Amino acid sequence: MEVVAAPAPAEVAPEAAIFEEESALIVPVRFDARTAWLVTAGVLALLGAAALGLALLRALSASSAAPPKAAARIAATASPTPEQQAPAPAAPPPARLALAPSVTLPQATAEPPAATSNSAIPWDDLPQITAKSCEALAIIGSGPKGLLAGQAVTSAQRAIVRGDTAAAHAAFCTASQLGVTNDTVLFGLARVLFMQSDLSAALEAVDQLIERAPTNKQAFEWRGDILIRMGKFDEAQKAWLKAAGATRPSKLLIDNLIRSNDADVKTALRAGDLSRADRMLRRSIALTSGDPEHCRRLVAILTKNGNAAAAERWRAYLSARGG
């Protein structure tokens, strides 16, 4: 009688052994062997190891009666399909920020609409010009220079009251050419040049005044008014803060400045001084990043002052921001 040796237990491929251990971690619940392998294949597919899960399913289908270890061996040695051979592109790791222990990330916020930024406000609504030089405008008469300069300054101030900026400019230039370039003359030149929209020359005059009188509050206020017409918000705000005796803005300070400006607008309108009302409204618009109510009031001032094109620019700005 022939004795047939009992078959040796099938070897388990090292990869399959590792796979079996990992599957035990993935599927800790007690199922029968076949069900456990099927669940493991599904979990692998969900975890992104679709190729390995598919190979396991094929192995199970090829030998439904095979014990789990044999199925694992088949799965480990199964030839992948061409689609499986091509590795899926690895997803880039999420960006990580190295933060100091006390630093927390702010919540993401939507970008503010462009119309609410100072850069979108139509500060250039009034066209700029280049006025004639003082050399061309000065009228030098005969007599003592001091007397003539005094008369010129008086004439210039009267012209400003009348609203005749051209005459005021010529008179201040006369005083300047006579060698009397004092604070009054420089401040007068800055004002009339601003009123005539020669902003570069106005800024030069007010800077000369600040160099002579670095604590002159009015000089810094006008410097801010000139700069905001140029669209230079940061420099303008710095000048207004300097005039208020501050170095940095605060909510209380800004609120106080706006209240003061609003009061000045009312005073200017009662006196019929549309130019001053215009300046005060622009200050408040800048400090409130384009508050619609102040913008509408400026539109009314510009319209009343005959600046229809400028008023239309501000209406378009209000329309763009839904105001």
Entry field: residues in the chain: 323
pLDDT in tens, the chain (323 residues): 444 444 444 444 444 444 444 444 444 445 555 665 565 656 555 555 555 555 555 655 554 544 545 444 544 444 444 444 445 555 544 444 343 333 333 333 333 333 356 778 999 999 999 999 999 999 988 889 889 999 999 999 999 989 899 999 999 999 999 987 899 999 999 999 999 999 999 999 999 999 999 999 999 999 999 999 999 999 999 999 999 999 999 999 999 999 999 999 999 999 999 999 999 999 999 999 999 999 999 999 999 999 999 999 999 999 998 86
Compute the distance between CA of residue 283 and CA of residue 234 in angstroms, rounded to an integer: 12
pLDDT score of 62 = 52
Residue with tokens 């062997």, as numbered in its chain: 33
pLDDT score of 102 = 38
Compute the distance between CA of residue 203 and CA of residue 220 in angstroms, rounded to an integer: 11
Compute the distance between CA of residue 236 and CA of residue 240 in angstroms, rounded to an integer: 6
The answer to whether 200 touches 229, Cβ cutoff 8 Å, is: no
pTM, two decimal places? 0.64
Compute the distance between CA of residue 240 and CA of residue 234 in angstroms, rounded to an integer: 10
pLDDT score of 109 = 35
pLDDT score of 19 = 44
* DSSP codes, 226-287: HHHHTT-HHHHHHHHHHHTT-SS--HHHHHHHHHHHHHHHHHHHHHT-HHHHHHHHHHHHHH
